[in-house]
Amino acid sequence: MRPTEKASDYVIIGAGSAGCALAYRLTEAGKTVTIIEFGGSDVGPFIQMPGALSYPMNMARYDWGFASQPEPHLGGRSLATPRGKVIGGSSSINGMVFVRGNPQDFQHWHDSGATGWDYAGVLPYFKRMETWHGDPDGAQTSALRGSDGPLHITRGKRKNPLFNTFIKAGQQAGWPRTDDYNGAQQEGFGPMEATIWKGRRWSAANAYLRPAKKTGLLTVLRGFARRVVFRGKRAYGVEIETKGRIVTIEARHEVIISASSINSPKLLMLSGIGPADHLRDHGITPLADRPGVGANLQDHLEVYMQYTSLKPITLYTYYNLLGKGRVGVEWLLQKTGLGASNQFESCGFIRSSDAVDYPDIQYHFLPLAVRYDGKTAAKGHGFQAHVGPMRSQSRGTIRLASGDPSAAPEIRFNYMSQPSDWAEFRACVRHTRRIFDAPAFAEFRGAEIQPGDAVQTDAQIDDFIREHAESAYHPCGSARMGAADDPMAVVDPELRVIGVEGLRVADSSIFPRITNGNLNGPSIMTGEKAADHILGRQMLREEV
């Protein structure tokens, strides 16, 4: 018999994007909550300074260090799969870009069995969670945006002329402008939004967890979750390892897994919920045979289209020890300057062809030619666009490598396994060249660094993608939501794990299909909406 700790009303596994939001709303309702987090403190400039975003996701202190199995359609490469191992989860190590997704994404969720998760059903939760600050030079209010939520959403000042040049070039290449891709119109080029407030990363920990702790109803417990424990088929707690002991943290009402799209299906399987034969192979007695656990894994891939700059106006000026030092000192003293921005200040959402109903390509523009992880900056001034398709049809799996809870799971994204993926990615490359060939870039655009002018044919572009495509770090879908009678669904539309009682999942693993854009926003929304389901409240709806 494991020793048990004092019970809370609810036990949440994971102090990440959804888990923090959920803890906040449950304590706001007067419930006691224990949140279990393996990672440590998020205090310090590497996390809190937006301009330092390339550091935490490459630090073992903050990142689980996952990687995919060799990907057969990407030349056998194993791709990094960072997930936050720190208070705030991946919201403490991500790029801070805020994208809700497209309304049609959520209609697809609803149509595929996630009843009530259409746009009308999620919009009120997006609004409830945010304080939207609009554009520094434009609108500050909108009927589609929130004005008093915990999560501050801001825009950079776009002082570097290249940011607005990218927006103008997109229009010259034939696409519209959008003044708010999270509002009435996603399609087009415009300013990008970020979870940054007063020069700091406004993570789920800053927005939700710290206020929740002030209520006195929240306990944050440092420990490694091993499995959910059951009496019969009802979850009553979580077995964790902490301070060299294995103890059980009990929940009076429910256990909620919010451990990420990588760790949540792993925990479900370790707890006896998953494909029965796979569980038996690892010595685990099946409690609920749910073949959808660990299936339906999705992600966004992207490539970096890079150009030299004819003018010395890019961030390369600061890409040296002295320059970084100056940026860091200004941020430490005043929370201003380049360190107060993630440098993703303009973007685009476009359709790969007129036959596509709504945008299926996303752009992040950056006034520097460098990898997302901060490595291999081009020697000299340059700029780039991160570009990739939004709705790949490829699906992968999360599987146990061992019945040992400490073993990392096996991650197989099966990237680029569908012919349509290649066609969409070729469109990404060719559309991007159109944008950078637009008149607005004439005074800035030098040689194409990557892929390079020699890469023109379908076969050449395919080779470039195979060698250079990287994850945009948006894994999701591995415990998908659907109708209770859907054999491949893992949770029902109230996020209850099908086949057991007293257990829910609330994070990006429940997404039926990946949304347009970065996933932090939809993940936090999931935590917000989950709280109302758990509390038995009337669900919010807002028809548009």
Spell out the long-range contacts of 167-170 with Cβ–Cβ below 8 A and sequence spacing 24 or more: 167/191, 167/346, 167/348, 168/438, 168/440, 169/435, 169/436, 169/438, 169/439, 169/440, 169/441, 170/348, 170/350, 170/363, 170/435, 170/438
What's the longest Cα–Cα distance across the chain? Answer: 72
Instruction: Give me Rg for the CA atoms of the chain.
Output: 22
Q: Locate all alpha helices (DSSP H) within 305-417, ordered by sequence.
A: 321-334
Residue listed under structure tokens 């809190």: 48
**Burial (CB count <10 Å: 0-12, 13-18, 19+), residue 143:** exposed
DSSP conformation letters of 104-115: HHHHHHHHTT-T
DSSP conformation letters of 251-265: EEEEEEE-SHHHHHH
Quick one: which H or E segment has residue 28?
helix 17-28
Quick one: which H or E segment has residue 308?
strand 301-309
Q: Find out whether 522 and 94 touch, Cβ atoms under 8 Å.
A: no
User: How many angstroms separate the CA atoms of 60 and 48, rounded?
Assistant: 17
- CA angle 280/282/284 to nearest 5° reads 55
Question: Left, alpha or beta for 341 (phi > 0: left; psi -120 to 50: alpha)?
Answer: beta
- CA angle 210/475/543 to nearest 5° reads 70
Q: Which residues contact 216 (CB under 8 A, 6 or more apart)?
A: none
Tokens of 217: 């109803």
Active site residues: 474
Residue listed under structure tokens 């909620």: 256
Burial letters 418-446, b for 16+ CB under 10 A, else e = eeebbebbbbbbebbbebbebebbeebbe
In this structure, is the dihedral angle defined by the CA atoms of residues 41, 211, 147 and 515, taken in order, positive or negative?
positive
Q: Look up residue 476 and give its DSSP letter.
A: B
Closest C-alpha to 478, from 519, 434, 524, 429: 519
What is the crossing angle of helices 520-534 and 17-28, to 10°?
A: 30
Tokens of 388: 């990739």
What's the N-to-C CA distance of the chain in angstroms?
Answer: 54
Q: Find out whether 50 and 72 touch, Cβ atoms under 8 Å.
A: no
Identify the three-state secondary structure at position 481: strand
